[in-house]
Structure 1
Amino acid sequence: MIQAIGLTSNARKESPPTVDDVSFDARVGRVTALLGARGAGKTTVVRLMLELQQGRGITYFRGRPLHRIPLPAREVGVLLGDVPGHPARTVRGQLRMLCSAAGVPIQRADEVLEVVGLVSLRDQRLGALSRGMDRRLGLACALLADPHTLVLDGPADGLSARESKWLHGILRAHAGLGGTILFTTDDPKEAARTADRVITLDEGRLVADQEVADFARTRLRPRVAVRSPHAARLGVLLAKEARTAKRTVEVVPEGGSRLSVYGSTCADVGETAFRHGILVHQLADEIGDAGPAVAQALPSGADPAAHETPTTGPEPGAQTRHSLAGGTPDTPNSPVTTSTFVPLVDTTPLPAATEGVAGSPGGTEAGATSSATAALSPLPPPITVRSARSPLRPLRYELRRATGIATGYVTVALVLAVSALLSVLLARVGHTPQPRLLAAWPQGLPLPPAALGAGLLGAFAFGDEFRHPALAADRGTVPRRLGLLCAKLLVGAATAVLMAALVLGCDAALLHLVYGSELTQVPADWPSMTASWVALVVACAWAGVLASGVFRSTAAGLAAVVAVPVVIVPLVQKALEGPSVRTAAGLPARLRDLALVHWPFGAERFVAAGVRMVAQPVGGALMLSLGALLCAYLLTVLRPRTR
């Protein structure tokens, strides 16, 4: 059960709030429609309910606000707009990645694919999906954790009549299993066909909360749709005959050759056209929108039907028209006009804020006391944007994210190819030390290709998250938590080390093939050189991860990696070049002397290699950059907690 109480958005400057004091209930086992014209505030209400937008009010999902639910994805399934996934990722890969994020078995991905009818398209790329298939995938993402409640914002927008019927059947089936459904729509006929209860918004205010039968009686009425090349003449004749017979018939021209006739039947309109020799192309009974009505406050216990305000004419068809003969929609080229409507105020009292949810499966009355307090308070409690939680299985999620698209594989292949070509060219030119030759690191380049590739892969770790925020569908923002950061750092380091080893192996093999074994002799200090090489690529990868996480961009992550040798190293060298009284010469030897016992397995050599690397300009600049980026990232993580 959903209980929304006093939802109010924050006003901007002098303009009124988009949503003002909206309260309603969505009951268990029923489909509830949130109806309103475009700009009425439906999406804002949904975002306030899900704590994705700041404002005032509170929403209880089975007695608990969303920030008090340990696993929100398993309680509330959300569909907001298009599926935010990487276009190159497959449908099945997207769902499996989200399974890891939600902490559910990966077999659940195949189950929901079967439910939404996407089994045959499981290997299709997200960028190639049609609008209807994207809606199906969005519904599959919402159903992935088997939630009790579904909150869907415009799920049928852009769908055909057949796809909309299928979607409504899925929603009805979920409600029949004891779930709670709330969806938004701007089509009154869709709300009447699908929902059990219709909540109507207009200009950010709740103006009606009705059962679907009352809604259909007060908002929808029968009409005759007519299409004729002589529509204007036929309209005049129908109005003239109605005045003669003293009948109430309303004829509304809808542009071109279309008419809507209220208060008549197909037989009467057809007989009139036949008597006057008027050609008719279409004649069909429809249920249409009754048009705008004046919202008025009714006395307690009054019947809304008795206070119905006649209208001067219905709004032109903002909804798809259906013929009784076959139920096929009219041609898509027909003019469609959107309209702003103000429905009649229903006198059904809004559910009390203290109403319990004992009838719902797994329900609780924990929120009853706080609901009553909120109802009696002059101002509802403030809504703050909840901090995004990390995936339940961050390492598994990061592995599926990194291996689900071809970007990483292409980057590694390019690095290997460029490194091999550079090593061969450097060996031909000569005057290049063997370590730099194996690493394909010319003297003029700030970093070797392997380090740049590691930084690029690290930048993709968070850059893709912000560009295609698959984790932000029900969170509002991409989570930047320590668990997810550690997973990205670990996967980035492993990828960088693997790529560095491949580069050394490929370069050595190619040099041995082209120039013989002279250039591939193993140096005596290979352990320290290997440690320096691994530390360089890992540090570049981590710099890319941290910079892209702080600045929310792949380009910023790669720029931070390149800025280390280009900007930070010259600054460090310039700072150290000035006159000094003392120097740190012999620091590695003195550090070794500090050890009271000998390190096992000759580990002091690796420590000395690490100290020498930090003492170098590039190593020191990398450590400085990593420290600054890590502090900035920690500030972005801890800032929401200090509010």
Structure 2
Amino acid sequence: MIQAFGLTSNPRKDLPPAVDDVSFEAHAGHVTALLGSTGAGKTTTLRLMLELQQGRGITYFRGRPLHRIAHPSREVGVLLGDVPGHPARTVRGHLRMLCAAAGVTVRRADEVLEVVGLVSLRDERLGTLSRGMDRRLGLACVLLSDPHTLVLDHPAEGLSAREIRWLHGILRAHAVQGGTVLLTADDPKEAARSADRVVTLDQGRVVADQDATEFARTRLRPRVVVRSPHATRLAALLAKEARTAHRSVEVVREGGNRLSVYGGTCAEVGETAFRHGILVHQLADEIGDMGPGAGTDAEETLPPETSPAPPVTHEPRATPEALAPDATLEDPGKAPQLPTPGATVAPRTESGSDAQDPDRPRRTARPRTLDVLPSLPPPISVRSAPSPLRPLRYEIRRAAGIGTGFLVGAVVLVTSALTAVLLARVGHTPQARLLVAWPQQLPLPPAALGAGLLGALAFGDEFRHPALAADRGTVPRRLGLLVAKLVVAAATATTLAFVTIGCDAEMLYLVYGRELAQVPADWLSSSMSWLGLVIGCAWAGVLAAGVFRSTTAGLAAVLAVPVAVVPLVHKALEGPSVRTAAGFPLRLRELLLMQWPFGGERYMVAAARVLAQPVGSALVLSVTVLLCAYLLTTLRSRVR
């Protein structure tokens, strides 16, 4: 269950807080709706509950605040606004990437796609989805890790009437199996149809916390429903008598032979029809949205376990096809299997992480007999651990899921090859700089700039399109994710470095012959320097983008190394000193006492020479400072 105590947002200058002392409970096995008009504070309340916005108060999810839950996405599934994800990523690729973050197999992506009816759109890009399809994908992301609690902000926005009924069926099925559902709504009729309990907000305060039956009886507009073959004549007579008696009566023609009379009673309408000899087929009181516009019968207006007190009208019951997703959006032959009518839906079995964690409260559900409910994805087994559970797999899928990295690599190769050809034509360029296409006028070669940009995108895109928003709404600043990004960035930079040299050498050989494509004599030291430069730029981009949450900041940090840091290091090394590090390679070899197998001491000496250079020292200094800044911000966020 969810327990919210005293949620209060920070004041906004001279305005009162958007949310002021909001407290309520959402019980397991129930659907709870936060109802209020635009600006009432519904979304702010959810953000305070999920610790995405600073304020006062605390929220417990089954007895624990969110920051004390080891794996938040396993406990709470969140959908706030649009689906967070890169618009160039495919639907299936996005879910497969989140599978690595949740620690589940990739088969789970296909299971939730089948449930939400997006199987036929699995290869579509996120940026091309309509609002309704985005809502479906958001629900798929929420159900991916099989959470106990669903927190949804306007989940029915942009959906058709049939899709809304299907969505309410999915949420009801989750609640019946022992889960907790909390959603926001603007329409009182929708809240009465979909929820077991309605919490009404007005100007940031709780003004009512009612059972759905009581809410429908006291806060929805009652009316009298009349069906007559002479509906037009009866409507005119009712309006005329209301004007004569100076009573406030509104008569609405709802199509066909149906009238809705607001402000009148069954007795008054029946007497008018009797006096004028008008045949009446139906005369009944209704509360809430029980007419044809609701798309369901009168019993479905209120929670399934209750029945409305006033007389109601009965219309044909919705069929399973009406509750299922639109047939045109599904893959033929893969429609979700629905329980048989009249079957009792049993709660989920205690398996997976529930069985492995004895301290975790078990899901309990109220036994309820249902007519039709859509099926949910099968339960999964996920071990409790900080997310993402498989950071390296997640990062590889994140980097390879869009074409930005491949495009940057292609641009780097073309630019580097053309630059190498131009430098060879001009002359006066050393062989080592010629092979990497590094003119004296540029602070960095194209490959180093490309590696820095790819490193900056590793965290920059993460904050711009937070794919892990299903966990907490932001990217979890965990060391496992940082190490995975550094490893992937280093592998990408190394590949780009060697491929760049190969392309440059082939282009020089093709244009000018073998003379300019020869390998330098000091190739080992040059290779170490080249790899250190490219990997250092990539790591500087990753760390700077992670600290400042921006791709631009990451790239600026990469450019700052040769422009600002290198001159400072160079000046410090050239300044007056009592002692120098001359003869360091010789003393290092003496310290080892013995030669390493395969000439390993040569690599250490080459690495030492790289660090002794101003560029190498500047890169090491920059990466160290950025790493310390990242660790500091991580510790500070955990302390909060």
* TM more than 0.5: yes
Output the amino acid matched with 1:444. Answer: Q
Distance in 1 separating the partners of 2:394 and 2:235:
64
Distance in 2 separating the partners of 1:573 and 1:8:
54
Are the aligned partners of 1:249 and 1:261 in contact in 2 as well (CA < 8 Å)?
Answer: no
Distance in 2 separating the partners of 1:110 and 1:397:
17
Are the aligned partners of 1:50 and 1:474 in contact in 2 as well (CA < 8 Å)?
Answer: no
Are the aligned partners of 1:220 and 1:288 in contact in 2 as well (CA < 8 Å)?
Answer: yes
Aligned to 1:633: 630
Aligned to 2:142: 142
Distance in 2 separating the partners of 1:252 and 1:95:
50
Give the superposition deviation at 1:125. 0.5
Assess, with a 3 A threshold, how the Cα gap between structure 1 residues 392 and 184 changes in structure 2: closer, same or farther. Answer: same
Distance in 2 separating the partners of 1:403 and 1:212:
48
Aligned to 1:414: 411
Deviations 1:370-393 (A, max 9, x none): xxxxxxxxxxxxxxxxxx954111
Aligned to 2:556: 559
Deviations 1:313-336 (A, max 9, x none): xxxxxxxxxxx9999xxxxxxxxx
Assess, with a 3 A threshold, how the Cα gap between structure 1 residues 641 and 216 changes in structure 2: closer, same or farther. Answer: closer
Give the superposition deviation at 1:33. 1.3
**Secondary structure class of the residue paired with 2:221:** strand
Equivalent residue runs for 1:236-247 within 5 Å: 241-242=241-242, 244=244, 246=245
Give the superposition deviation at 1:454. 0.6
Deviations 1:201-242 (A, max 9, x none): 2222222222222211111234489xxxxxxxx999966522
Equivalent residue runs for 1:93-492 within 5 Å: 93-223=93-223, 241-242=241-242, 244=244, 246=245, 248-251=247-250, 262-264=262-264, 390-492=387-489
Give the superposition deviation at 1:155. 0.7
Residues 1:618 and 2:615 are matched in the alignment: yes
Give the superposition deviation at 1:428. 2.2
Distance in 2 separating the partners of 1:186 and 1:642:
37
Deviations 1:476-518 (A, max 9, x none): 4322221111100000000000111111111222222222222
**Secondary structure class of the residue paired with 1:639:** helix
Aligned to 1:574: 571
Output the amino acid matched with 1:615. Answer: A
Assess, with a 3 A threshold, how the Cα gap between structure 1 residues 525 and 360 changes in structure 2: closer, same or farther. Answer: closer
Distance in 2 separating the partners of 1:145 and 1:7:
27
Deviations 1:516-561 (A, max 9, x none): 2222223332222212111111111101101111111111111111
Aligned to 2:508: 511
Give the superposition deviation at 1:365. 12
Aligned residue pair count: 540
Assess, with a 3 A threshold, how the Cα gap between structure 1 residues 29 and 360 changes in structure 2: closer, same or farther. Answer: farther
Give the superposition deviation at 1:186. 1.1
Aligned to 2:37: 37
Output the amino acid matched with 1:187. Answer: D
Aligned to 1:534: 531
Distance in 1 separating the partners of 2:18 and 2:611:
55
**Secondary structure class of the residue paired with 1:173:** helix
Are the aligned partners of 1:402 and 1:461 in contact in 2 as well (CA < 8 Å)?
Answer: yes
Are the aligned partners of 2:132 and 2:157 in contact in 1 as well (CA < 8 Å)?
Answer: no
Are the aligned partners of 1:31 and 1:180 in contact in 2 as well (CA < 8 Å)?
Answer: yes
Output the amino acid matched with 2:388. Answer: P
Aligned to 1:500: 497
Deviations 1:13-50 (A, max 9, x none): 56444333333332332222111112222222222322
Output the amino acid matched with 1:619. Answer: G
Aligned to 1:20: 20
Assess, with a 3 A threshold, how the Cα gap between structure 1 residues 62 and 570 changes in structure 2: closer, same or farther. Answer: closer
Aligned to 2:48: 48
Output the amino acid matched with 1:79. Answer: L
Distance in 1 separating the partners of 2:179 and 2:418:
61
**Secondary structure class of the residue paired with 2:6:** strand
Aligned to 1:383: none
Where in structure 1 are there 5+ consecutive unaligned residues? 226-233, 254-258, 276-284, 290-323, 328-357, 369-387
Deviations 1:164-218 (A, max 9, x none): 2221121122223232211110100101111122121222222222222221111
Are the aligned partners of 2:71 and 2:386 in contact in 1 as well (CA < 8 Å)?
Answer: no
Assess, with a 3 A threshold, how the Cα gap between structure 1 residues 441 and 188 changes in structure 2: closer, same or farther. Answer: same
Deviations 1:28-76 (A, max 9, x none): 3222211111222222222232233333444333333333332221122
Are the aligned partners of 1:235 and 1:251 in contact in 2 as well (CA < 8 Å)?
Answer: no
Farther off after superposition, 13-22 or 445-454:
13-22
Give the superposition deviation at 1:137. 0.5
**Secondary structure class of the residue paired with 1:108:** helix
Distance in 1 separating the partners of 2:171 and 2:182:
9
Distance in 2 separating the partners of 1:409 and 1:488:
17
Distance in 1 separating the partners of 2:628 and 2:90:
36
Give the superposition deviation at 1:129. 0.6
Give the superposition deviation at 1:5. 3.4
Aligned to 1:294: none
Distance in 1 separating the partners of 2:527 and 2:358:
62
Aligned to 1:544: 541
Assess, with a 3 A threshold, how the Cα gap between structure 1 residues 10 and 599 changes in structure 2: closer, same or farther. Answer: same
Are the aligned partners of 2:239 and 2:251 in contact in 1 as well (CA < 8 Å)?
Answer: no
Assess, with a 3 A threshold, how the Cα gap between structure 1 residues 122 and 52 changes in structure 2: closer, same or farther. Answer: same
Distance in 1 separating the partners of 2:473 and 2:514:
58
Residues 1:587 and 2:591 are matched in the alignment: no
Distance in 2 separating the partners of 1:469 and 1:91:
15
Distance in 2 separating the partners of 1:366 and 1:12:
41
Are the aligned partners of 2:238 and 2:251 in contact in 1 as well (CA < 8 Å)?
Answer: no
RMSD value, Cα: 3.7
Output the amino acid matched with 1:218. Answer: T
**Secondary structure class of the residue paired with 2:184:** strand
Farther off after superposition, 70-79 or 413-422:
70-79
Farther off after superposition, 189-198 or 57-66:
57-66
Distance in 2 separating the partners of 1:553 and 1:60:
32
Are the aligned partners of 1:508 and 1:520 in contact in 2 as well (CA < 8 Å)?
Answer: yes
Are the aligned partners of 2:528 and 2:610 in contact in 1 as well (CA < 8 Å)?
Answer: no
Where in structure 2 are there 5+ consecutive unaligned residues? 226-233, 253-258, 277-284, 290-314, 319-346, 362-384
Farther off after superposition, 614-623 or 521-530:
521-530
Farther off after superposition, 184-193 or 468-477:
468-477
Aligned to 2:517: 520
Output the amino acid matched with 2:127. Answer: G
Aligned partner (choices 605, 609, 621) of residue 608 of structure 1: 605
Aligned to 1:5: 5
**Secondary structure class of the residue paired with 1:395:** helix
Distance in 2 separating the partners of 1:592 and 1:537:
27
Equivalent residue runs for 1:64-79 within 5 Å: 64-79=64-79
Are the aligned partners of 1:546 and 1:630 in contact in 2 as well (CA < 8 Å)?
Answer: yes
Give the superposition deviation at 1:611. 1.8
Distance in 1 separating the partners of 2:90 and 2:588:
53
Assess, with a 3 A threshold, how the Cα gap between structure 1 residues 485 and 179 changes in structure 2: closer, same or farther. Answer: same
Are the aligned partners of 1:64 and 1:367 in contact in 2 as well (CA < 8 Å)?
Answer: no
Give the superposition deviation at 1:107. 0.8
Aligned to 1:309: none
Distance in 2 separating the partners of 1:184 and 1:562:
46
Distance in 1 separating the partners of 2:133 and 2:615:
50
Assess, with a 3 A threshold, how the Cα gap between structure 1 residues 588 and 242 changes in structure 2: closer, same or farther. Answer: same
Distance in 2 separating the partners of 1:359 and 1:45:
29
Aligned to 1:92: 92
Give the superposition deviation at 1:360. 11
